Every structure is written in C-alpha cells, then in structure tokens.
Structure 1
Amino acid sequence: MFRRADPSVQLKTPEQVRKMREAGRIVARTLEELRNTARPGMTTLDLDAIAERSIRDADAVPSFKGYHGFPGSICASVNEEVVHGIPRDTKVLQNGDIISVDCGAILDGWHGDSAITIAIGEVSAEDHRMMQVCEEAMWRGIAEMRLGRHLGDIGHAIESYIRSQGRYGNVQEYGGHGIGTEMHMDPHVLNYGKPGKGMKLTKGMCLAIEPMTNQGTRHVASLSDEWTVVTRDGKRSAHFEHSVAVTADGPLVLTAREENRVKIAELGFPDPGF
C-alpha cells in the first residue's frame, strides 16, 4: 500500500525507497561499465548489448526494452541527438564524439533510471564545458528536493544555473518525472519554473531529475524513427539524470555512482551507501 499526498503521486515507505536504491545500484554499475568501455570504433548497439548483459546478470530487467515498442536496453544519443537515440549497428562512435546514455532497470518491480554523457576519446573544451554545465544543473535541481519545497524550485534552480553559464539552450519539451513501480509516473518535472510554485514536495516522493543542455538554442525536433530527438540547429547536446527520493534528511540519490561520492558529501545529502 502507498501513502498519497496527491492521488496521482506514489509516495514510498523507507523500505520501498531501499528497494529502489537496489534497482538504482544496478543502473549505476551499468553506466560505470559503459563509461569505462565506450571507445572509438564501437557501435551504439555494442554498448546496448553490454548494458543488457549487465542488467540481466544482476537478475534485473532493462526498463527501456519494449517500452512502447522501443527496441533497445539503453537510449544512446550521439552529438546533436538529445535523447531517445535508438542503438544501431550502423552508428559507429568516432574520436571526439559525445554520447548521452540513458539507462533503466527493474528489480523486484521497482525502477531505477539514470543518464550520463560520455566523452569518446579526445573531445573539445567546449563539449566538456557543456557537459559540466548540464551535470551541475542536475545537482542544483536535486538540491531543491527537500520537504516543503516545490516542483517550481527544482525547475528554477536548473534553469537559472544554465542561464548563468552562458548561451546554452535548456530543452523544455522534455523533463523529469516521478518513478517507482513504473518508470514514468506523475508528476512531470519541468527543467524551468518559478520558485514556490507547483506541487509541494513530500516525504517518500521519488523523482528523476534530468536536464538536457544544448550548445545552441533550446529547440529540438523528432526524427522519422519517432524516437530520436535532435537539436534543430545541429549543435551538440548533453543529458544527465539521477533518480532521487525526498527524505526527512534531504535528497537521497537512488542511482548514485561511486564517482558521485564526493559531490554528495559536499552537498550534505544523505549517504546512499556505495
């Protein structure tokens, strides 16, 4: 049984949050493996196979595979592809590419969902900077996930940080979401907003926070495959995401990776257990 502050929002007990952290660990380990493995000459379908094996070896199921007909275990979005890129054996990674990998896993009925952007070989300083801005925007949004804050506080923190860093596009057509016994649940989490507006955050609420930052404008379009989203101006994009629970002690990052240990401590978030 779930407690509900709003009929559309699933609030988790501490035990259910613990189960979501177990699913999140599988996603975290899979993304770590992909970051360590991805290199020039590999295809995005190669990465998909590695991810599926990693998830299934942990007795979990890839969240994405078959989701509304999606064919892959990950979304693999290269360069100007923003999100929802389909893994393909014809998509060969080149030195200097960047690839956003979105990964989800289901363990005992609970979902974990996280994304990172990976540099392939030697990438430009401009690409590195955009990736840093996007990831930091995610952390700024997560930091607002405290009791009594509002969804608008999350979006405002993300938007205002991206704006403060230069002429980056903050994608508005896509955003974060609730997560739990389904991958995508209420509420929708915008990457822009007004402080103090929107749904109030409640203990047990679990959200995926995921900004998408473009080197050019914020405007995007969908390709004819009806999945892949690209920047309209052809400039590159980055995507970072964590699933996070609202707790009495602050934001608990359910998909935390080992590389996040120092950042989580610096921000004073609860230790997710690495």
Structure 2
Amino acid sequence: MKKLSHDECWCGSHKKYKKCHEKFDKRLRYFKKQGYVIPSHAMIKNEKQIEGIKQAALINNGLLDYIESHICAGMSTLQIDDMTVEYLKAHDATSADLHYQGYPKSICTSVNDEVCHGIPSEDVILKSGDIINVDATSCYKGYYADASRMFMIGEVSEEARKLVAVTRECLYKGIEAVRPFKSTISDIGKAIETHAHQHGFSVVREFCGHGVGLSMHEDPYVLHYDPHYPTTLLVPGMVITIEPMINAGKRYVHIGPNGWSAFTDDGSLSAQWEHTILVTETGVEILSM
C-alpha cells in the first residue's frame, strides 16, 4: 500500500514518512525504472536499529580482541570456544552460532585447509605454522554483529603469509567498491575476484556474505565474485557482511564428515576475513571487524 506523507514511516522510526524515507523511496523508484534491482524495505535499518547493531559490534570486536591476545601454539580450538563463552557471558551477550541449525559450539575455528565452519575441538591443537580463521557472531539485546579474523601461529610459510595478506586486501577491495546509489553487490564481487586472481588465488563461491543486524543471516546475499547478472543496488541503511574466502589452490570445496566444516578439495590453504559494514550516504562505516 502506498505511503502518504503524513503516515508513519515504514522503517519503524515513528517519524512521519515525509520527514523520514519519502525522498529515499523516490530515489529507489527512479533506479528501479533504470533497470536496477532495488533493495526491499526489510534490508534498510533505522537509526535505533543501527545503534543496537553498533553495540553488538563493540562486543564482537572485543571478543575477537580478547581471543587475539591469548591465541597461541599449544592451545586447542576448544579453548577458543571456552574463551568465547566466558567473554560473552561477562558482557551480557550470547553467541548467535550456538545451536544455529544445530551448530554445536559458540564460535567457528577453521584451520589451514578448512575454509569455514570449523567446529572447536579438544583434539585440534594449534601448532607453529598453522593459520586459523576465528569467526564470531555476537547477539546483544536482540541485535547481531558478525566478523572474522585470521591468525598466524608461530612461523608460517611464505605462501600462508601471502594468502592471509591478500585475503585481507580482497576484503578491503570489496569495501572500497561500495558506493551508495552507484554500485551493486556485483561490484563488490568483481573487485574481490579481480584482486584474488591477480595474485594467483581463487575465490570460494559456495559461501557468501549477507545482510545482518536483526538476525544472524538476512537478505541480501553478498557474492565475492562477479555473477554476471543484475544484483541488488547498495543504498544507505543497509548493513551487510563482506567475508571473502580465498584459496591458495583451486576454488572447489567439500563438506567434511561432521556435516559443517568445509575443506578445500585439493588440500590447499584457505583464508577468510570478515567485516560487518553499514552503507552510509557517503560510503561505508565499518562496524564489526
């Protein structure tokens, strides 16, 4: 139903539509006529929601900082999960990972050729030369923030060091491609894919970024490669993750026996960095990193 200027805005701000998103909707209609895929209203966050997501992001950032200050050779990945439980409880937050579609732990720990969704275990002991992705999604007062970081344990190979560095560069190439009302999700993927290929690496296609904030996974999907078909226009108020998974070898992956952990088919190393970002009127604001 069409909104009238004096109606309450659809975004939940409790402001009049005229004072809130009326001009915004006119811009969306213009871009739709130009053939763009425009985001749904459900993808747009209001000021209160953005503030709540930022509070969750502060906790998520603090959790990853805490892990970064303790992670070392000789530690089991289960100990990382224990730290997560401890930290989130102390900050009145919870893990969005725990019990999500049956996932058994509070964080993901993916080592070496594990691409993502590695399950913490007392049997996985970190050793010098390992690279590990730690992926955390924290929930605070009903708001969600998501991020992951790579850690290099002890002395790692030159290949591993390069892969970790280039993967982070891919993330930031993707972020730089976000231009409100000018770029689409395809531009993020194209920037990531181009940079990875320039360095001889491949981009995993089976997993992607996503909207986040009011739940762990929301629309839209954020692809890390150029799909060569129209994708959603990026506009202010969208909160998304960009989280490229880059392989040293070929891009192909498979799911391991536990039903969760993804591995490279060729046994090559894999790396991932993830940020939660807010699309603003002028560019982006990184919330969780």
TM-score w.r.t. length of structure 1: 0.89
Tell me which amino acid in the other structure corresponds to 1:163.
H
- How much does 1:6 deviate? 3.7
Partners of 2:56 and 2:98 in 1: CA distance: 16
SS of the aligned residue for 1:254 comes to strand
> Which structure 1 residue ranges, 5 or more long, are not aligned?
257-274
- State the 1:196 CA deviation: 9.1
Partner deviation per Cα, 1:160-185 (whole Å, 9 max, x = no partner)? 111112x2121111110010111111
Q: Whose radius of gyration is greater, 1 or 2?
A: 2
Q: Percent identity?
A: 35
* Match of residue 127 from structure 2: 94
Report the number of matched residues: 255
What amino acid is the match of 2:78? L
Aligned residue among 170, 173, 189 for 2:222? 189
Distance 2:55 2:232 in 1: 27
Q: For residue 243 of structure 2, what is the aligned residue in structure 1?
A: 210
Alpha-carbon RMSD across the aligned residues, in angstroms, is 1.7
Matches within 5 A, 1:1-274: 2=11, 6-7=39-40, 9-148=42-181, 149-165=183-199, 167-193=200-226, 197-256=230-289
Taking the aligned partners of 1:244 and 1:20, their CA distance within structure 2 comes to: 10
TM-score (norm 2): 0.84
> Would you say the 8 A contact 1:8–1:186 is kept in 2?
no
Aligned-pair distance for 1:9? 3.8
Which segments of 5 or more consecutive residues in structure 2 lack a partner in the other structure? 1-9, 13-24, 26-37
Distance 2:131 2:41 in 1: 37
Going from structure 1 to structure 2, the CA distance change for 1:18 and 1:146 (only over 3 Å counts) comes to farther
Q: Is the 8 A contact 2:44 2:237 kept in 1?
A: yes
Q: Give the match's secondary structure for 1:85.
A: coil
Give 1:194 shift: 6.0
